[in-house]
Structure 1
Amino acid sequence: MQWLNEPTEWFYSGNRLIVKTSPKTDFWRTTHYGFIRDSGHFCFNVLSADFVMEIGIRGNYTDLYDQAGIMLRVDENHWIKTGIEFVDGVQNLSAVVTHEYSDWSIMPLPNPPEVLHLRVERRQEAIQIAYQDGTSEYKLFRLTYLPGDTIQAGIMCASPDGNGFEASFEGFP
């Protein structure tokens, strides 16, 4: 396990990794806002084969854009982050796919689960993002691509506008 932008506060408790995000942290590239941010917290392993990653995500989201989830990264210009993002007082299932420029997809979760179960699957260049919606079945949220022989894969969290919050990740690594 390695950190990109290691947070000041993090620890393991049983099968959970608990992180307190640092203020003014984010991952974003150019689109709409005109800035580049590569300061979010990312704990990862380097993988070179197809894989499935399933984790449970909890967060004490309080400020605009507080976020926690899974990240796949080839380099600072090519990456995906997906999970919960807090926007206008609502938890949203979110995905940002970045190939030089970031895009952003969200789906409001008006009755968010206590723990969001998220699954990311890599099959060659294809990336499937799925979530559990209160049943044991995973539902597809997004299908995209991320080319690369090796990929950094792990958890990410950030507080772009806020002063930090606590996020926990179950089943990681």
Structure 2
Amino acid sequence: MTSPALPKLSLHHGSSAIAISQSEIVEDLPTTMKFQPVKIRAAPISDLWRKPPNTDVDNAPTVLISVPLNLHKFHSAKVTVSANWNTQYDQGGLVLFIPDEDTTKWVKTGIEFVSGAPKVSTVAASRWADWSIAPLPEAANGKLTIQVERETKGTERVESLWIYIVNEETGEKEGIREVTWWFRHDLEGGQKAHSHKSLLVGVYGARPSVPEGEGREKEELVVNLDGFEVTMFED
């Protein structure tokens, strides 16, 4: 029996990638998908951010699995992110998108450079986005392994998406954020449109600000994303 093929990765910019969700959900995928290292170059004034009353920016470069995943079968995603973080709001890590009735829901998590230091950063966006940051130890040298994972209780898949910091040496996970509404469409009864059960998963980088210093106006942030891995439930 032939093993399912590993899907390709494709470059997009922000939620413009939502066009992928118009394709049929691909069910025949490896349970564990491991990808080669990814390098993303983010130009100044690139971002993925949503804030009332009218800010909705989604031009950040994203490298996504080129087929929509089944939201119900998604278990986890993990990546190690690093860069020469040096400009306010430099960032990169994991990104997930879900099309909804009125907007595109998304979560991004990884490292963000804030007030002169790289921090662990997570943004979850529904109608509007929120933002949380946590310290990144100096010993990490601007490098972080981040994981998102569906919460389970026994064999039951429940509503929350958890964000974890992963210790590279021990594999131990530390939960830092719970997104309680992420799997809402998977738990609601009744018939839902196909797109609401689609999930797009990938990695991203962004440089929302312009670097300071003469001649740096167009300087790109180079984000290294290693060990990108996505796992699916078997059933």
TM category, shorter: 0.7 to 0.9
Alignment match, 2:96: 72
Q: Does 1:23 align with 2:44?
A: yes
1:33-57 Cα shifts (integer Å, max 9, x gaps): x521011111112211222112111
Choose from 207, 222, 231 the match for 1:166: 222
The code of the aligned residue for 1:53 comes to A
For structure 1, the residue ranges without an aligned partner over 5 or more in a row are 7-13
Say which structure is richer in strand.
Answer: 1
The code of the aligned residue for 1:64 comes to Q
Asked if the contact 1:21/1:159 (under 8 Å) is kept, the reply is yes
Say which structure is richer in helix.
Answer: 2
Give secondary structure in 2 for the equivalent of 1:172: strand
Q: What TM-score does the superposition give when structure 2 sets the normalisation length?
A: 0.64
C-alpha distance in 2, partners of 1:20/1:112? 25
The code of the aligned residue for 1:23 comes to P
Q: Which runs of 4+ in 1 moved over 3 A?
A: none
Q: Does 1:52 align with 2:100?
A: no
RMSD: 2.2
1:16-43 Cα shifts (integer Å, max 9, x gaps): 21122112100111248x5210111111
Q: What TM-score does the superposition give when structure 1 sets the normalisation length?
A: 0.85
C-alpha distance in 1, partners of 2:122/2:149? 14
C-alpha distance in 1, partners of 2:206/2:139? 19
Alignment match, 1:4: 12
Alignment match, 2:187: none
- TM-fit CA distance, 1:92: 0.8
Alignment match, 2:164: 130
Number of positions where the alignment pairs a residue of Structure 1 with one of Structure 2 = 165
C-alpha distance in 2, partners of 1:109/1:17? 22
For structure 2, the residue ranges without an aligned partner over 5 or more in a row are 1-8, 15-34, 152-156, 184-195, 211-218, 230-235
C-alpha distance in 1, partners of 2:50/2:36? 33
- TM-fit CA distance, 1:126: 2.1
Q: What are the residue-to-residue correspondences of 1:144-159 with 2, within 5 Å? A: 144=179, 145-147=181-183, 148-159=196-207
Higher Rg = 2
1:41-83 Cα shifts (integer Å, max 9, x gaps): 1111221122211211111111100000101111353110000
